[in-house]
Amino acid sequence: MKDRYFGDRAFYGRIFAVMIPILIQNVITNFVSLLDNIMVGQVGTEPMSGVAIVNQLLFVFNLAVFGMQAGAGIYAAQFHGKGDYKGVADSFRIKLISNMVLVAIALAILRGFGSPLVELFLHEGEGGLDLAATHGYAMQYLAIMLLQLLPFALSQTYSGTLRETGETRIPMISGVTAVFVNLVGNYVLIYGKFGAPQLGIRGAAIATVLSRFVELAIVVGWTHSHPGRNPFIKGLYSTLRVPADLAKQVAVMSAPMFANELLWASGTTFLNQCMSLRGIEVVSAINISATVNNLFSCGYFAMGTAISIMIGQILGYGDLERAVDEDRKMIVFTGILSLGLAAVMYSVAPLIPQLYNTTETVRSIACSLIRVIALMMPIEALTMACYFTMRSGGKTIIVFFFDSFSTWVMNVPLAFCLAHFTSVPIVPMYAIVYGTYFIKLAIGLVLVKKRAWVNNLV
């Protein structure tokens, strides 16, 4: 029993070698994001709500980038496991071209329809907050944040490929450096320190844009200056052509992955829009609780990424039974890790909302939402482990139905009905909607056990 569900010291050592750099980067990034959120929150509830709405829209773009390059990333990991560096380079080129197209589309949508999209989240609540002011803050923030779309997409192209080839340290360094640039920039530009102008949320946006370019410079500079460590980079830009067969295979695999990330992100945004019908205070409270959740979920997200990389490489090597065995043990470890994280998150729930310059109503709602999230964390963590397991074997259509299809079939209709046809308060509404994760986890465990994901693509 122990050998079936728990590995030896060498096994966990390999997990930590992949997981820890990703975890450190995510923890620092999300901790600084929390500080960033608190800084914006000190300006006032309306600016914080405006920023939260824009970040919700940008969240859809960010997830679309991840989805766009996911299929090529699966091939890159398995090509690397096989030792085929030309295959890795071709996978990189596919990511690059796809992400540039996505940036162009996102710019067109957000520049043309940013204002009406923001207005979807603006509804009167109990606190008498100024909706027009919130809209104005959101549009100021969005106008500057559009400048970070391109460097973000390019950074993810490079960082993702480095991780898939086993180099997790440099993406960690670039990400950590960027978040500290963002933190310092926020302090200087939001509050007007060291002789700088006091720019409020515009300062927060400028700091974010600067941090994206810093992150891009580090990851690109290191990759191209170490061709021995990154064989795929040699002659990378001598052509942008890729083998037609590979492009077709990646497209077939990427299409459901892209649709999955896009639909899941848009589904999450739609859920938050439904909940915003309970008042603009809910937008601020969800913003606070989501920021806290992002920090505490770093542990099981890093484990999910480790599952995708390690199991993908083992599958590419061709050792299928070992992949099944190690995946089972990694899922068990994910569950244990999430229990500890959930306990800590539940305990600190009353403390973090007090750091914001907002109303007691917002603080109370945020505390309750954080505790709901903490109670659901082990279920969500195990569900994510199942998701990354299926993704490592390239079963992208299964992943699509498992992830985004379930969001739009279960969560979205439930949230819409509760928001529009009942007077259920926000906290029980939130708990009911996200309680559907129990169903999703049961489906995920069945799919993993059936071993449809055990697949060598290369």
What is the b/e burial string over 92-123, where b = at least 16 CB atoms within 10 angstroms of the residue's CB? bbbbbbbbeebbeebeeebeeebeebbeebbb
Alpha-carbon gap, residue 238 to 447, rounded angstroms: 42
Cα→Cα distances 35→29, 98, 152, Å = 10, 33, 21
Which of these, 214, 220, 219, 191, lies nearest to 204 by C-alpha position?
191
Phi-psi region of 418 (alpha: psi -120 to 50; beta: other; left: phi over 0): alpha
Six token digits for residue 243: 């083998």
pLDDT 10s digits, 79-133: 887 778 888 888 888 889 989 999 999 999 999 898 999 888 877 655 556 788 8
In the chain, which stretches have pLDDT less than 50? none
Q: What is the pLDDT of residue 65?
A: 86
pLDDT 10s digits, 313-334: 888 777 778 888 888 899 999 9
CA 438, 442, 445 angle in degrees (round to 5)?
135
Structure pTM?
0.73
Would you list the domain boundaries of the chain?
A: 2-449
Which of these, 368, 381, 388, lies nearest to 337 by C-alpha position?
381
Q: What is the pLDDT of residue 457?
A: 59
Q: What is the pLDDT of residue 35?
A: 75
Alpha-carbon gap, residue 287 to 275, rounded angstroms: 12
Q: DSSP letters of 355-423?
A: GSSS-HHHHHHHHHHHHHHHHHHHHHHHHHHHHHHHHHTT-HHHHHIIIIIHIIIIIHHHHHHHHHH--
Q: What is the pLDDT of residue 447?
A: 85
Q: What is the pLDDT of residue 126?
A: 57
